[in-house]
Amino acid sequence: MKLMRETRCSSTRPASAARPVNTWAGDPTADRFEQFWTLQAVVEGAADPQTGYVCDVRELDVMLRDVVAPLLREYCGSADDLGAVAPALCRAFEAAVGACPVAATLCSITFVVSPFTRFEVHVKDGAMVRLTRSFEFSAAHRLYCDRLSDEENRRLFGKCSNPHGHGHNYVVEVTVCGTIDGARGTVVDLPAFDRAVQESVILPFDHKNLNIECPEFAELNPSVENIARVIFQRLVRVIERGELLNIRVWETPKTYADYGPNDASAG
C-alpha cells in the first residue's frame, strides 16, 4: 500500500536543532517571515502487522527535511527561474532513495513551489519530471439533453438544468511529463506552455456560456467530465514539449474530473 507524508520548510534556512514536530507551517516558518516550501513523499510497502505502519512518518520528515530540502536549497534556493527546479529535484530524489526508511520503497517526491505550480519525480517515470500548473476560468453552463423533456431533464440534472444556466469558477490543473532540457533545465518551455493554455483554453472559455459559445458543447453536455476531455483534446494538439499526462478540472472544491492519454486511447 501507499503512504504520503508532507513536510513544510523554509526555502532558505534549515530546521532548528530543537527538531520540532512537523507542525502546520513547519520549522522555522511557523513564526517567521520566510518563503515556505512544501515537500511530499509517497512510499509503498506492507503495513506492519503489529504497528499498522508502512513506516514511521517521522523518518519521512527527516528524509524530506535533512536530505531533500538541503539539496533543493543548494541547487535552486537562490534561482530566479523555475528552470533550476527539475534538475535539483532529480538529484534530491536520487539522494532520498538512499535515505528512505528500509521498510518502504520511495515512489515519488513532489515539490510544491507555489499554489499554482508543482514538480514531481516518480520512480516509474525514469528520468522524466512531471510539472503541474493551475489555471482558472469562470463560465456558465447548463446540463441538458435535448432528447429528453424538461421534466426528465429536471429529474436527471436537478438545478444544474436551470434553463438560464448557472456559473462556476473552474480550476484546471495541467500536468505534463518530460525529460529535462539540458540547456535550460525545464521540462517544458514555460512561456510557450502558459501561452498555449491561455490561447486554447482560458481565452475561449473564460466568461463564456459554454453551451452557446464553445463549439464542442453544441451537442455535448458540458459536464465537468466532458470539460476535462475537451481541454485535453485542445491542449494535446498544441503542447510542443513534453507529454500531456493529465487534465484535472475542479468544478467546485468538492468535485473534480481527470482525463489523460489512457482515456483518450480508450475513446
* Residues contacting 190, CB < 8 A, separation 6+: 82
> Rounded CA gap, 128 and 248, in Å?
20
Amino acid of residue 152: E
Q: Which is nearer to Ni ion, 57 or 227 (CB)?
A: 227
Query: If residue 221 lies in a helix (H) or strand (E), which one and from where to where?
Result: none
* Residues contacting 60, CB < 8 A, separation 6+: 5, 7, 41, 43, 101
Is 107 noted as a catalytic residue in this protein? no
Q: Which is nearer to Ni ion, 124 or 159 (CB)?
A: 159
Query: Of the ranges 8-16, 30-38, 52-60, 154-162, which one interacts with Ni ion (CB under 5 A)?
Result: 154-162
Catalytic: which of 6, 160, 213, 216? 160
148 binds Ni ion, rule: CB under 5 A: no
Query: Of the ranges 97-105, 112-120, 159-167, 189-197, which one interacts with Ni ion (CB under 5 A)?
Result: 159-167
Is 251 noted as a catalytic residue in this protein? yes
Contact residue for Ni ion among 62, 160, 171, 238 (CB under 5 A): 160
Query: Of the ranges 103-111, 127-135, 155-163, 253-261, which one interacts with Ni ion (CB under 5 A)?
Result: 155-163
Cell of 241: 514539449
> Can you give the binding site for Ni ion, defined by CB under 5 A?
160
| Residue positions annotated with a catalytic role | 160, 207, 251
